[in-house]
Structures are given as structure tokens and as C-alpha cells.
Structure 1
């Protein structure tokens, strides 16, 4: 298995959207309200990619995961009910999804590690993220990777659990 993490291309919206649709369906089957309101959608993915913020995880030539990776911008994070660990530059990840065929292989963790490496390569030492209260799988991943629960943020009127991980300079 040779996994590669890179910026997505506009020509890749279809396979990315397929992975997101699988994730939306999984959340629904889990009884979650997350991603059940028409968001994310193909337009959101297109905007991510146009801004250079859409990233894919590949196995050879096959796209198997997607995430938006954004530097220093998430208006919802300014109004946290709680407190972030840092107030410096940060990377935020949104829309993390892994292909149905690749579940259970630790690839969401691998993707988060790639996002952390991306942050470090830009001399940024904080990664922030949020997830729905009922997304137990994602919260476990955050916990396993050393993300700290910081409080609540709100998206489209819904509360989310907010997490941050402070990264350390690589020697």
C-alpha cells in the first residue's frame, strides 16, 4: 500500500463527491444529524479545490479520502464557548471522509497525520477541528492522536465539539 496526500484537482470532484456521499450516508445510518442538511455538496468541494484547500489521500492512482485543509480561517472558531489552547496561526480541517472500501484501516488517522505534517511544513503548530456530538468514531481518533477538547462552536445553528492539537517543531 502506497498512500499519498496531495492537493485535489478540479477534475477529481466526481470521485471526491462519491466518497463524501458514502460518508453522508454512513452518518445517516448511524442516526446522526451531521451532514444531513444538504452540506457538504459538490459546490463546496469545488470551492475548496479552487481555493487550494481541497486535499485527497490516494492509494496508487485511486482517490480514497478527502479533507479540506484551511490556514487561519474559520469564522465559527472565533466564537468558541470554551477556550482554544493557542491563539497563533492554525490549520483547520473540515469534511474529512474515507472511501467505504478503505474503512477500518486507520486511514482517517493517517490523513490527520498528513494534515499535521502539512501544518508543520508551513511552520504552523496548531491544528483545530470540530465534529458532531454523536460522531463517536471521529472523537476517538482525536483522542488517540492527542487532540484536546476545547469547547463548543456553532455551524449553521448546530453545536459542535471543538478540538485542538498543539504540534511540536520537528528537529
Structure 2
């Protein structure tokens, strides 16, 4: 099996949105409200592609996963509650967002490989910490995140919305 990551192109948008929709359905099946309001939309994923922050997991030539690797500060991470970020508060970091694995690839531990590659890309770009968040009910993603070496750091809110709480994680490289 040949697995690698590559940057997404405009031509990849339909496949990426299909994977996002599969992720949305999996979250709904687990009664997790994350991604149930339409987000991420085509325009969100297109913005990731345009900014060259969209990365695909390729398995045997097929797109098996999609993720955004941001290299600019995430406004949602500016304030953290019931915890704190490790290291220098002003340090630069990458953040992983909008990550999903196609449903036909679940159970193959490909998320471990994907996270490892996103961590390598971050390190190669000069970053020494990565942040990620997920819904408190998303036990599957929390397992993947902690298995990848991330530590729980506290709670963040999306767009300062008190009803949209996320568990925040960080790994130091």
C-alpha cells in the first residue's frame, strides 16, 4: 500500500467535499453536533486550497482524507479556559482543522499516519508546536489526537460562541 500526503488542488474539491459529507454523517450518527450546521462549506474548503493549506491523504492513488494545516494564529485559540497552552504564549504554531478520513478507510489506522505527516510538515516549516480541537462528545477524534501525542490543554470556543465549546489539544515538537 502506497500512502502519502500532498497539497490539494482545485480539481480535488469534489472528492474533498464528499469526504467532509461522510464525516458530517458519521458525526450525526454519533449524535455529535459538530459540522451539523453546514460548516465546512465548499467555500471553506476552496479557501483552504487557495491558501495552500489543504492537504490530502492519498492511499494507493485515491484521496482517502482531507485536512487543513494552518500556519497562522487561530483566533479561536486566543483565549483558553480551564487550562493553558504549554510553552511561550507568543510562540508560533500550526493548527489542524477540517480533518476527515473517507468512510471506506475507517479502521485502518490511517489517521495516525495522516497526523504524523501533518506534524512532519509543521516541523519542516519551522514550527515547534501544533494545536487542534474537537467537540467534547467526539470520543473517536479525541482518541486519535491523544494517540498522536497531543495533550489536553483546556477549552476553547468557536467564534466566541458560548454554545460552541471544543476541547483543545497541543503537541510540542
Taking structure 2 as the reference length, what is the TM-score of the superposition? 0.93
Structure 1 vs Structure 2 CA RMSD: 0.9
1:160 to 161, 166, 171: 166
C-alpha distance after superposition, 1:82-119 (max 9, x if no partner): 21012311110001100111000111111111110001
- Is the Cα–Cα contact under 8 Å of residues 20 and 97 in structure 1 kept in the other structure? yes
Whether the aligned pair in 1 keeps the contact of 2:4 and 2:57 (CA below 8 Å) is yes
2:48 aligned with 1:48? yes
Q: CA deviation at 1:72?
A: 2.7
List 4+ stretches of structure 1 deviating above 3 A.
Answer: none
**Ranges in structure 1 where 5+ consecutive residues have no aligned partner:** none
1:140 CA displacement: 0.8
CA distance, structure 2, for counterparts of residue 56 and residue 146 of structure 1: 21
| Gaps in structure 2 of 5+ consecutive residues | none
2:142 to 133, 139, 142: 139
Q: Is the partner of 1:142 in helix, strand or coil?
A: helix
After TM superposition, list the pairs within 5 Å mapping 1:9-158 onto structure 2: 9-81=9-81, 82-86=83-87, 87=89, 88-156=91-159, 157=161, 158=164
